[in-house]
């Protein structure tokens, strides 16, 4: 049995909803990491598309009103998870963009480090990450 961890991104453009969940090969249930709707969905969709494109997914498949379920490798899913969690409470667009771009450009090792910090320390780790990347 495969116990490799993976992420599933579900996009529903007609309902303006994005759900990111994490599973491992042995688990029956998946764990929801982030759920964005309406305004937040529209705000994050361009960055999600860029991240998917840089990871080798065909972004054209996300056009239209069809629900898309994308199984992501662990590093890409962890990158998206920390990006969504770190940026969602930010209100200043320039700061949010800086944090997003910095997370997308992180190496896989940095992503795994911050992902483990967020899992173990929660909001304190997210605050530290935002301060490191955006300087405020």
pTM for this entry:
0.82
The H-or-E segment that residue 90 falls in is none
Return the half-sphere exposure (C-beta side, CA atoms, 13 A cut-off) of residue 115: 21
Torsion angles phi and psi, residue 81, rounded to 5: -60, -50
What pLDDT score does 1 carry?
A: 38
Annotate 38-80 with DSSP letters as a single string. Answer: HHHHHHHHHHHHHHHHHTT--GGGG-SS--EEEEE-HHHHHHH
* 17-24: strand order across its sheet: 31-37, 17-24, 5-12, 68-72
Phi and psi at residue 135, in whole multiples of 5°? 75, 15
pLDDT tens, position by position, 35-49: 888 777 887 888 888
pLDDT tens digits, one per residue of 47-95: 888 888 877 877 666 666 788 888 888 889 999 999 988 988 888 888 8
Residue at token pair 């991104």? 9
Cα–Cα distance, 26 to 14 (Å, whole number): 32
Bridge partners, residue 10, by sequence: 19, 69
* Structural domain boundaries in the chain: 5-134
Q: Using an 8 Å Cβ cutoff, are 114 and 124 in contact?
A: no
């Amino acid at each position: 049995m495969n116990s490799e961890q993976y992420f599933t991104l579900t996009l529903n453009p007609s309902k303006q909803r994005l759900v990111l969940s994490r599973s491992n090969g042995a688990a029956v249930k998946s764990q929801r990491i982030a759920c964005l709707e309406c305004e937040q969905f529209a705000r994050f969709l361009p960055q999600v598309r860029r991240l998917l494109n840089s990871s080798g997914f065909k972004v054209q498949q996300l056009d239209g009103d069809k629900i898309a379920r994308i199984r992501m490798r662990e590093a890409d899913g962890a990158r998206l998870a920390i990006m969504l969690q770190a940026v969602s409470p930010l209100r200043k667009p320039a700061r949010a963009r800086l944090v997003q771009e910095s997370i997308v450009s992180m190496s896989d090792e940095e992503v795994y480090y911050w992902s483990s910090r967020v899992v173990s320390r929660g909001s304190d780790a997210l605050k530290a990450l935002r301060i490191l990347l955006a300087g405020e």
